[in-house]
Amino acid sequence: MRVVLAMGLLIVFALAGAAQPSERVDLLLVDETQTLQASLMVQVYARALQESGLFNFDAKVVSVQSSYDDPLGVNLTEKRYELIVIVPRGIEDGSVPQVWMITRPIGPQTRPQLLAAMDLIRQRVEQGSAGLFKALTVMDDGALGIFSSVFERHGWLK
């Protein structure tokens, strides 16, 4: 119940005003959650992100055995993303209290719009969950750097 409340708060904060950048960020939201209730909350969050005007938005619902499994495999489409946000399996029960933001390594060439979008997601996740969840980037966790390499090799990241 605590997770559902936190996700509900996350949605409320995500709907709160967001500035529109001149160029949108290509975002793929990956939902690994395993319960109907959590998946519905992720869908509402996805709609809030989409309606923010910050993103060119796509979403995938996937089933994985572990939160550290590759949820995407090889990209058989032409679509590539600047940002892949994973709501990992385990967030429902608190065993994985993070939302993961996967990008190429952050550096001087990183677009300001991408940095702003990541800051917005980070703030909304932390504020909306009353600190229960964090939004991590490839700069925060080595495992996310591995995901970045795999996703780039498999054709998901631009």
The Cα 116–Cα 98 span in angstroms is 19
Is residue 72 situated within a structural domain? Answer: no
Helices (H), the chain: 2-15, 36-51, 112-128, 142-153
Is residue 73 situated within a structural domain? Answer: no
Per the prediction, the chain carries an average pLDDT of 84
Q: What is the pLDDT of residues 88-113, one digit of tens each?
A: 998 888 889 999 999 998 899 999 99
Cβ-in-10-Å burial (0-12, 13-18, 19+) of 131 comes to exposed
Q: Domain containing 129: what range?
A: 1-11+24-55+78-109+124-158
pLDDT beyond 70 at 121: yes
Structural domain count of the chain: 1
pTM over 0.85: no
In degrees rounded to 5, what are phi and psi of residue 118? -65, -40
pLDDT beyond 50 at 73: yes
Is residue 119 situated within a structural domain? Answer: no
More confident residue, 37 or 149: 149
Among candidate residues 33, 49, 140, the one with its CA nearest the CA of residue 93: 33
Residue 154, C-beta contacts closer than 8 angstroms, at least 6 positions apart: 70, 72, 73, 74, 75
